[in-house]
Structure 1
Amino acid sequence: MSPHGLYRPCVGVLLLNAQGLVFIGQRRAKSAHDHTQPPYLWQMPQGGIDEGETPYEAALRELYEETNVSSVALLGEAPDWLRYDLPKGSNNRWNGKYIGQTQRWFALRFTGDDGEIDIHAPGGGAHKPEFDAWRWEKLSALPELIVPFKRTVYEQVVKAFAPLAEAQV
């Protein structure tokens, strides 16, 4: 069994631009059973940690695979693993192996320009798109845009990284 127990080990990326705004993507429906409704369609890049990969390596990989972004600088790492439970009846996503996810969050400064972001052919076109749309958003707005079962994690991420979300001088 994983050291994370019944929680799938994952990472999350808070990507800040020079104005202190955060990248968020509008999730694509994964299947006909994905019933997420507006305004809860938005999230930051996140994903699982591969075997032999450090959480930071996973964060960089997931960011690239979902946004095409590789021009970044590390600003900080959340001090703790954060976790959430999947809603009842939805844990078949990983064949019932996990009841939720435990995530390590990283704050990264985007050092490229917006032209680098490509959600339609992410990872140099080698990966399926995760998002239908994207935008830069105020950090404080994020908890209201995420699906309710992940809201507590987003509130903790906002609190942990709020000091970093100032415009770069």
Structure 2
Amino acid sequence: MSSDRPAARVVCLDREGKVLLLRWHDRVSGETFWEPPGGGLLAGETPLEAARRELTEETGLPGDAVQDRFVAVPRDFMWLGVHYVKTEQFYLACFDEVEPVAAPGSVTREELDSYKGAAWFDVLPEGVQPPELAEVIRELT
């Protein structure tokens, strides 16, 4: 099965330049990885609107922190047995605090079953998705 469902993600940076990543576990493949907050667009939603909504839903952080500036990132990955091939828009959100608290707000049951936490990083961890995230961050900043 494959999907090209449009999606948007948010690169969150704190005052010290640390990036917020969410830890996910794919129960189908058994893989665990880190990824910026984000997800699929709802019907009639723009990528920017989706990025702001997803940030608030997945982290509790304010969606209005997401800037209207993005980098288009080609993606090719598996998630829960579905093959996704698409281009996602990665937006930037900057926070004046050091490591603002990030905790899921209104997430789906599927997300709760897969969500394994959030952390702020000054060096990207192994298993980060997309693998070229460091370059995306450079382009956004």
TM-score grouping bracket, smaller chain normalisation: 0.7 to 0.9
Aligned counterpart in structure 1 of residue 34 of structure 2, from 26, 31, 42: 42
Residue 167 (structure 1) aligns with: none
- In 1: Cα distance, 2:84 partner to 2:100 partner: 36
Aligned counterpart in structure 2 of residue 10 of structure 1, from 7, 11, 22: 7
**Match status 1:69 vs 2:61:** yes
**Match status 1:20 vs 2:30:** no
Does structure 2 retain, via aligned residues, the 8 Å contact 1:78–1:157?
A: no
Aligned counterpart in structure 1 of residue 124 of structure 2, from 142, 151, 155: 142
Residue 101 (structure 1) aligns with: 86
- The SS at the match of 1:51 is coil
Does structure 2 retain, via aligned residues, the 8 Å contact 1:10–1:46?
A: yes
**Match status 1:151 vs 2:137:** no
Q: 1:15 to 1:52 in 2, by over 3 A?
A: same
Give ranges in structure 1 of 5+ residues lacking alignment: 1-5, 165-169
- Greater share of helix: 1
- In 2: Cα distance, 1:83 partner to 1:91 partner: 19
- In 2: Cα distance, 1:155 partner to 1:16 partner: 12
RMSD over aligned CA atoms reads 2.8
Which whole-Å deviations, capped at 9, do the CAs of 1:138-161 have from their partners, x for residues lacking one? 2xx3374315xx313x24412312
The normalised TM-score by structure 1 is: 0.65
- In 1: Cα distance, 2:16 partner to 2:63 partner: 16
Give ranges in structure 2 of 5+ residues lacking alignment: none
Percent identity, please.
Answer: 24
Letter of the aligned partner of 1:16 in structure 2? Answer: L
**Match status 1:114 vs 2:100:** yes
- In 2: Cα distance, 1:26 partner to 1:91 partner: 15
- In 1: Cα distance, 2:118 partner to 2:135 partner: 22
Letter of the aligned partner of 1:36 in structure 2? Answer: E
Does structure 2 retain, via aligned residues, the 8 Å contact 1:13–1:59?
A: yes
- Greater share of strand: 2
Q: 1:34 to 1:78 in 2, by over 3 A?
A: same
